[in-house]
């Protein structure tokens, strides 16, 4: 008996993001990363979905390019923004 696994778009996207991180850490080849990203993008039917996964790729590349002091600054800014959002009442 043969079983078929159905992978959701969310799972494909997570695999693509994981592969981008693995590539930045030199754990997989560029070709392996490209295949995972291509599989995830293949299922998007609109431009917004493509933009979302490409943006995540840019964010991953940027974070891995930062040195430790830049990462600390990024954390500080992120936490400051998160705190301001909590203090701002919803409209």
Give the 3-state secondary structure of the chain: CCCCCCCCHHHHHHHHHHHHHHHHCCCCCHHHHHHHHHHHHHCCCCHHHHHHHHHHHHHHHHHHHCCHHHHHHHHHHHHHHHHHHHHCCCC
Percent of the chain clearing pLDDT 90 (strictly above): 21
Phi, psi of 68 (to 5 degrees): -65, -40
Does residue 2 lie in a domain region? no
Does residue 37 lie in a domain region? yes
Residue 16 has pLDDT above 80, yes or no: yes
What does the pLDDT average to over 72-86?
83
What does the pLDDT average to over 7-19?
84
Residue 17 has pLDDT above 80, yes or no: yes
Does residue 45 lie in a domain region? yes
Does residue 75 lie in a domain region? yes
Number of structural domains in the chain? 1
Percent of the chain clearing pLDDT 70 (strictly above): 84
Does residue 64 lie in a domain region? yes
Q: Which domain holds residue 65?
A: 9-87
Does residue 3 lie in a domain region? no
Please tell me the predicted confidence (pLDDT) of residue 43.
73
Does residue 47 lie in a domain region? yes
Q: Which of 18-22, 40-44, 64-68 has the highest mean pLDDT?
A: 18-22
**Distance in angstroms (rounded) separating the CA atoms of residues 20 and 30:** 9
Does residue 73 lie in a domain region? yes
Residue 21 has pLDDT above 80, yes or no: yes
Report yes or no on whether pTM surpasses 0.95. Answer: no
């Amino acid at each position: 008996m043969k079983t078929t696994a159905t992978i959701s778009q969310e799972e494909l996207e997570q695999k693509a993001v994981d592969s981008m991180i693995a590539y930045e850490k030199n754990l997989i080849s560029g070709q392996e990363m490209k295949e995972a990203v291509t599989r995830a993008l293949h299922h998007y039917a609109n431009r917004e979905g493509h933009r979302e996964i490409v943006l995540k790729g840019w964010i991953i590349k940027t974070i891995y390019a930062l040195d430790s002091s830049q990462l600390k600054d990024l954390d500080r800014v992120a936490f400051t923004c998160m705190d301001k959002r909590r203090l701002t009442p919803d409209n």
